[in-house]
Amino acid sequence: MSINPDVSRRTLLRRAAAAGLLAVPAAGLLSACAGSEPSQSNEAGGTKNKDNPFGIKDGSAVKVVIFNGGLGDAWAKEDKVVFNAKHANVTVNMSSTQKIKTEEQPKMATQPSDLVMNSGADMMDISTLVNEGAIEPLDDLLTAPAWDSEGTVADTLLPGTVEDGTFQGKFYVVNVAYTVWGNWYNGALFSKEGWEAPKTFDEFFALAPKIKAKGIAPYVHDAVHGYYPRWALMATIWKSAGKQAVVDIDNLKENAWKADGVLPALQAWEKLVKDKLLLPGKLDHTQSQQAWLDGKAAFIQVGTWLKNEMSATIPPGFEMKLSDYWGLGASDKAPKDVFAGAGEGLVVPSKAPNKAAAKEFLRAALSKSGSAKFAELTKSLASTKGSGDNVQDTSLTTANELMKNAPKDLIKTKFFDFYADLDKESQNLSEELMAGRLTAQQFVDKMQAAADKVAKDSSIKKQTRTA
């Protein structure tokens, strides 16, 4: 889920070409990759057993592409070690990149890699991959025996992991990282000043003047990538209006954005902006996170990859602590629900030459030993239960704490995974609201209009969410 908007020279040039000096090259590049003959598969052939449930062939090779973002790629190399412990004669060709779509999309229709970690700013659109049949359903992975514990793979996963990878009734995406979102603060600063981390917006608005008096901005946000503030807005909407309201929004139900509780949730954010509680300036994610680390702002909202992403510049004595998103108070329908879920999804392309080994690699990655290494290296929870039990770290323990007290329902929004148009619109409007150019009422009206437009557009394939 972590992002690196920096663009390498090569990619930029390719993009520049794709967009076209004459735009003619654009049309050319877009097309250059389609319609060729699919590659020959060297699938399976090995014997299936408990230690080799997918029947991978000795001596075969599997190509794994890892997204090298906020979590780095060191954990994946550990998974390779775990994998090779059982399959010494299978070669894992691992590479990592930040440009998943740029590098992998052109190969999807012809000769894709066997396992692709589809993540980051440059990820392939998941609903498109599913609709086009470009990725493989992985339901047999869930029912396969767990790598190094009792039961099946599904038994070892944290709640939400299977749901998060399921599209149109089938399990497609293995999300390896378990992320918890919320408001971060510096524990050391708060205990020094005697401040209490707020639980509701009202408590925050009461605390804000005290923070301001110390010359600190109460809040800082990413003003470049609209999906950052959108997490916070959707979390507040969920807490205030309840789960059903968000499910209705995801299902494009009529007047879903006008449901009770949606508008007040957004008005809390509107007030935060109007009261000038934001750090001035239009910073991006790392700039805003650094400003927070530098003590210019008291709160920032982001997920648990934060620690790993900023590890190089955390000042000594800084105590990263995670607290739950704020609700509105007594009127909240789901005040205790936590925004968490499995992210950083790995997919197996339908035309991958060695799908069996790709699935086996996933089984290894979800193992006890693999996931413990993951938590240790990334300071972020893995989707496998108990991955963080032996890691000492305030950000990880506060996240753990939050998960322990969380009800079974996790805050989850789907519409932006379902529909690219709504994704773009909601990102843009979130930034407009945070910039003070939009009121909460206008936000609701515009989102409703955009949702209605998608609902009416017959060229867009509709998806529904039940839970």
Partner 1 sequence: MRHGVARFVTGFLALPVALYLFYVVWPFAQAAGYSLTSWGGYSDNQEFVGLDNYVRLLSDELIRKAFWHNVFFLVTVPLFTIGLALFLAFLLNVGGREDRAGIRGVFGSGVYKVIFFFPQVLSLVVISVMWQQIYRSDSQGLINGLLIKIGLVDADNPIAFTADPEPFLGVPAVLWWLLLIAVWSGAGFYMVLFSAAMQSIPKDIYEAAILDGAGRFHTFFRVTLPLLRDTISVAWVYLGFIALDMYALVFVMTPSQGGPNHASEIFASVLNFTAFQKGQFGYACAMGVALAIFTILLAAAQLRITRRERIEY
Name the site residues for partner 1 (rule: CB under 8 A).
7-9, 12-13, 15-16, 18-32, 34-35, 38, 101, 105, 108-109, 124-125, 127-129, 131-134, 223-226, 276, 279-283, 287, 291, 420-421, 423-424, 427-429, 431-432, 435, 437, 459
Q: CB 51 → partner 1: shortest distance, Å?
A: 34
6 versus 58: smaller Cβ distance to partner 1: 6
297 versus 375: smaller Cβ distance to partner 1: 297
> Do residues 54 and 359 lie in contact, with contact meaning Cβ atoms separated by under 8 Å?
yes
67 versus 190: smaller Cβ distance to partner 1: 67
Q: How far apart, in whole angstroms, are the C-alpha atoms of residue 182 and residue 232?
A: 8
Q: CB 280 → partner 1: shortest distance, Å?
A: 5
102 versus 387: smaller Cβ distance to partner 1: 102
Q: CB 297 → partner 1: shortest distance, Å?
A: 11
Q: CB 190 → partner 1: shortest distance, Å?
A: 24
Q: CB 1 → partner 1: shortest distance, Å?
A: 17
Beta-carbon contacts of residue 60 (< 8 Å; ≥ 6 apart):
42, 90, 91, 354, 357
107 versus 333: smaller Cβ distance to partner 1: 107
CA atoms within 13 A on the CB side of 14: 12
Beta-carbon contacts of residue 1 (< 8 Å; ≥ 6 apart):
70, 119, 177, 179, 303, 305, 343, 344
Q: CB 4 → partner 1: shortest distance, Å?
A: 13
Residue that is written with structure tokens 């299902």 in the block: 251
Residue 271 CA, chain-centre distance (Å), reads 28
Q: What is the amino acid identity at position 147?
A: W
Q: What is the amino acid identity at position 113?
A: S
> Do residues 265 and 233 lie in contact, with contact meaning Cβ atoms separated by under 8 Å?
yes
25 versus 386: smaller Cβ distance to partner 1: 25
Among residues 157, 231, 220, 160, the alpha carbon closest in space to that of 186 is found at 220
Cα of first residue to Cα of last residue in the chain, in angstroms, is 22
Q: CB 400 → partner 1: shortest distance, Å?
A: 34
Where do runs of H (alpha helix) occur along 109-254?
Answer: 126-131, 139-143, 161-164, 187-193, 201-213, 227-241, 243-250
18 versus 403: smaller Cβ distance to partner 1: 18
Residue that is written with structure tokens 């499910």 in the block: 247
337 versus 425: smaller Cβ distance to partner 1: 425
Q: CB 291 → partner 1: shortest distance, Å?
A: 8
Q: How far apart, in whole angstroms, are the C-alpha atoms of residue 115 and residue 349?
A: 7
Q: CB 170 → partner 1: shortest distance, Å?
A: 17
Q: How far apart, in whole angstroms, are the C-alpha atoms of residue 430 and residue 424?
A: 10
Handedness of CA 219, 224, 227, 230 (dihedral sign): positive
- Dmax (CA) of the chain: 70
158 versus 429: smaller Cβ distance to partner 1: 429
Q: CB 117 → partner 1: shortest distance, Å?
A: 17
Q: How far apart, in whole angstroms, are the C-alpha atoms of residue 422 and residue 288?
A: 25
> Do residues 115 and 346 lie in contact, with contact meaning Cβ atoms separated by under 8 Å?
yes
